Structure 1
Amino acid sequence: MFEHFQLRHIPALFAATTTTFGGLWPLFDPRGSLHEFGFTSRIADSPAAAPVMIIGCARTSILGILMFYYYSRGQLEVVDTILGVFGAYAGLIDSYVVWKEGNLRKAIFRFVSSGLLSAWAFSGQTAGR
């Protein structure tokens, strides 16, 4: 899987790792994962929020698994595409929702970090274009 590894692959592999394994966290600690995501206690302490977080994060894990899959096949352009679209769309939506829920600091962090990853990917850095 890593026979073609280069340093420029680190951002994509980091994103694949955090989305794959971070998506499992709500299965074991939904409240903690909601807090870490950026939601206030009003939402994190709500029993109704846990299943929604678990289901949403399962889908997020799929994107991380797909990035690992295409990385292992050497299809780095596909990895860049998944990361770019995921970073731009999910990053924007996540930031907006967390900001509207009152956590400006976490919203800014999510916006900047996902924007940087998305820009990295859209510029073809993982593939080396």
Structure 2
Amino acid sequence: MFENFTLAHIPTLFVATATTFGGLMPFFNAEAAIEELGLPKCIAASKDAQSAMILSSARVTALGACMFPFYFTGKFSQVDTFMVIMGAYVGAVDAYVCWKEGVPGKAVFRRASGAAIAAWGCFGMTGGA
């Protein structure tokens, strides 16, 4: 299962694990998950926002879970593609919403993290390019 493992796979496995299992948090405590994302308490306390967070997190969990079969079957270029899309798009949306909601520090962190994830995939680091 791990015969092709290298240290370069650690960031990819971290992202896959964090999105798969971290995305489950809203099912158990949506308010805390919204706060962890970085949004203000007034949004986190909203039952409407909590329902939307659960729906959104299910989709992110599915993306993270899709990375594992590709990884374990050695399809590293496909895994890198997930990294690019999730890092660039999801990171940008997270940053935009945090910025718009008045948490610029969290917005910068989200954008920088997303850019690093996207760069990892863009340069084919999981595949060893």
Percent same amino acid among aligned pairs?
A: 47
Runs of 4+ residues over 6 Å off in structure 1: none
**Offset of 1:2 from its aligned partner?**
2.0
Q: What's the counterpart of residue 38 of structure 1?
A: 38
In the alignment, the residues of structure 1 paired with residue 60 and residue 97 of structure 2 have an alpha-carbon distance, to the nearest angstrom, of 16
How far apart are the structure 2 equivalents of 1:86 and 1:120? 11
**Distance in 2, Cα, partners of 1:121 & 1:83:** 5
Whether 1:118 aligns to 2:124 is: no
Q: Deviation string for 1:2-51 (max 9, x for gaps)?
A: 22110001111110000000110000000000000011011001111111
Deviations 1:37-84 (A, max 9, x none): 011011001111111100100000011111111001100000000111
The Cα shift of 1:85 comes to 1.1
**What is aligned with 2:95?**
95
TM-score, length basis structure 2: 0.97
Gapped runs of 5+ residues in structure 1? none
Q: What is the TM-score normalised by the length of structure 1?
A: 0.97
Counterpart in the other structure of 1:76: 76
Give the letter aligned to residue 100 of structure 1: K
Answer 1 or 2: higher relative contact order, Cα 8 Å, separation at least 6: 1
Q: CA RMSD in A?
A: 0.7
